């Protein structure tokens, strides 16, 4: 088995972008290639994650992107797994390097939806649910997570202020990220007074619809060392699944796929949750981050709200969560999000995170899932000094 490294990373700003989906995809790809200091011809395969390309009149994304990079002869693969597309795709790129099929590949996530407007985006996202039981019965994505929030709050006596604390913390972090979609300081009162989207979730409990693209260059360690450029290592990878419909879960206050993926990743890395110095987790809604940090083993079930309130997940806390601003502030271009999380880890570990830098961090974790957690992936990274 080959050791898998990340040699380069690039990302567009997340937000409402005017360029086409292909243009933003190529911008991130070129940034990653130049960051790695490689020649395009070094890329032996392209892995692309995207969900709603059809909304910008482009599917079969991978060969189109590879062709526009002058690499039409290089095999490409497009992967869709709802909001978890990026990390699910990353796993495939990782597996192919690890198995020795390729020594260097491009992993690119991209999404463009803001031009469709809030109503159509809400509808498109509902197609990511188990539609027969959820979207088809009137559940939007905020609605699904709102039902999860109500179940969690009922079971563990959490309240809406506990949810708001997540939003306030992530917006604070996003202020330091020049590529974040929503760079705005907010208070608990702002969250509690924002319009209800699907009770108990309010506008500031929800991440924005975002456009954006993020890209990585993955390679084996021999290739990375030969380049002479800074790189980081992927030391753990896990994939898990959950019942696609919320109704199918025995406990609605947990996401089984996260627990399964985390367990695999920790075992592969040979570490425990206590060894992780910071994490980028899937905070599509504030309740998701509370559940994530428990399912990932950072806190006991039912204890995260208290820990977050006391600052354990702030940038200077015991386990900083989402120093990038997370989906909540940095934004959520769903095909790109999982890759964007790893771009943040790369920047943190290669001295490019500026004021966001988590001091003395050596090990980081990323967690990303599709829909309400039906497809989940966890990856663990190590700084190379």
Segment interacting with other proteins, rule: CB under 8 A, options 78-86, 196-204, 327-335, 354-362: 196-204
Q: Which is nearer to other proteins, 245 or 288 (CB)?
A: 245
CA proximity to 203, closest of 174, 172, 234, 167: 167
Sole residue written with tokens 């994939």: 239
The answer to whether the peptide bond before residue 107 is cis (omega within 30 degrees of 0) is: no
Q: Tell me how far, at minimum, the Cβ of 21 lies from other proteins, in Å.
A: 22
Q: What is the CA radius of gyration of the chain?
A: 19
Q: 332 an active-site residue?
A: yes
Tokens standing for residue 287: 């309740």
Which of the following is catalytic: 181, 332, 367, 379? 332
For residues 114 and 106, give the distance between their C-alpha atoms in angstroms, rounded to a whole number: 25
Segment interacting with other proteins, rule: CB under 8 A, options 32-40, 67-75, 85-93, 130-138: 130-138
Instruction: Verify binding: residue 138, other proteins, rule CB under 8 A.
Output: yes
CA proximity to 125, closest of 326, 290, 332: 332
For residues 175 and 323, give the distance between their C-alpha atoms in angstroms, rounded to a whole number: 10
Instruction: Verify binding: residue 245, other proteins, rule CB under 8 A.
Output: yes
Of 20, 122, 264, 357, which lies in the binding site for other proteins, with binding defined by CB under 8 A? 122
Of 132, 157, 225, 354, which lies in the binding site for other proteins, with binding defined by CB under 8 A? 132
Q: 60 an active-site residue?
A: no
For residues 105 and 97, give the distance between their C-alpha atoms in angstroms, rounded to a whole number: 8
- Say how many C-beta atoms besides its own lie within 10 A of residue 334's C-beta: 32
Q: Which is nearer to other proteins, 118 or 193 (CB)?
A: 118
Which of the following is catalytic: 83, 104, 206, 207? 83
Segment interacting with other proteins, rule: CB under 8 A, options 5-13, 43-51, 194-202, 277-285: 194-202
Instruction: Verify binding: residue 252, other proteins, rule CB under 8 A.
Output: yes
Of 26, 33, 93, 148, which lies in the binding site for other proteins, with binding defined by CB under 8 A? 148
Of 6, 139, 261, 288, which lies in the binding site for other proteins, with binding defined by CB under 8 A? 139
Instruction: Tell the burial category of 190 from Cβ atoms under 10 Å away from its Cβ (0-12, 13-18, 19+).
Output: middle
CA dihedral 75, 93, 177, 186 (to 10 degrees): 110
Instruction: Verify binding: residue 156, other proteins, rule CB under 8 A.
Output: no
Cα angle for residues 239, 244, 245 (degrees, 5° grid): 145
Segment interacting with other proteins, rule: CB under 8 A, options 2-10, 166-174, 248-256, 312-320: 248-256
Of 119, 300, 360, 385, which lies in the binding site for other proteins, with binding defined by CB under 8 A? 119
- Show contacts with other proteins in window 48-87 (CB under 8 A): none
Instruction: Verify binding: residue 142, other proteins, rule CB under 8 A.
Output: yes
List, as one string, the DSSP characters of 104-150.
Answer: EEEEEEEE--GGGHHHHHHHHHHTTS-TTTTGGGT--HHHHHHHHHH
Q: Which is nearer to other proteins, 301 or 318 (CB)?
A: 301
Residues within the interface to other proteins (CB under 8 A) = 118-120, 122-123, 126, 132-140, 142-144, 146-148, 150-151, 154, 195-201, 245-249, 252
């Amino acid at each position: 088995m080959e050791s898998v490294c990340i040699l380069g990373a690039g990302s567009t700003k997340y937000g409402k972008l005017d360029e086409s989906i292909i243009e933003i995809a190529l911008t991130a790809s070129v940034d990653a290639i130049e960051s790695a200091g490689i020649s395009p011809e070094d890329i032996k395969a392209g892995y692309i994650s995207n969900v709603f390309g059809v909304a910008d009149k482009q599917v079969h994304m991978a060969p189109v992107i590879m062709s526009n990079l002058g690499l039409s002869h290089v095999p490409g693969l497009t992967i869709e797994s709802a909001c978890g597309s990026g990390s699910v795709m990353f796993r495939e790129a990782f597996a192919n390097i690890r198995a020795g099929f390729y020594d260097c590949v491009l992993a690119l996530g991209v999404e463009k939806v803001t031009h469709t407007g809030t109503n159509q985006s809400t509808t498109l996202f509902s197609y990511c649910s188990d539609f027969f039981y959820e979207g088809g019965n009137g559940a939007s994505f905020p609605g699904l997570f709102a039902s999860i929030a109500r179940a969690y709050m009922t079971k563990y006596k959490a309240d809406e202020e506990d949810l708001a604390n997540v939003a306030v913390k992530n917006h604070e972090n996003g202020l330091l990220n020049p590529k974040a979609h929503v760079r705005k300081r907010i208070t608990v009162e702002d969250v509690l007074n924002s319009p209800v989207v699907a009770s108990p979730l309010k506008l500031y409990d929800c991440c924005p619809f975002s456009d954006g693209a993020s890209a990585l260059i993955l390679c084996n360690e021999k290739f990375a060392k030969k380049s002479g450029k800074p790189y980081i290592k992927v030391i753990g990878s896990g994939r898990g699944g959950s019942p696609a419909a919320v109704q199918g879960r025995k406990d609605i206050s947990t996401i089984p796929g996260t627990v399964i993926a985390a367990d695999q990743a920790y075992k592969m890395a040979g570490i425990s949750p206590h060894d992780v110095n910071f994490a980028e987790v899937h905070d599509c809604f504030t309740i998701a981050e509370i559940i994530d940090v428990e399912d990932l083993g950072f806190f006991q079930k039912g204890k995260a709200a208290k820990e977050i309130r006391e600052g354990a997940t702030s940038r200077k806390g015991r386990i900083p969560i989402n120093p990038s601003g997370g989906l909540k502030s940095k934004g959520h271009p769903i095909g790109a999000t999982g890759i964007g999380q790893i771009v943040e880890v790369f920047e943190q570990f290669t001295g490019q995170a500026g004021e966001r830098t988590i001091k003395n961090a050596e090990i980081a974790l990323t967690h990303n899932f599709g829909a309400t957690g039906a497809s989940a992936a966890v990856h663990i990274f190590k700084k190379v000094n």
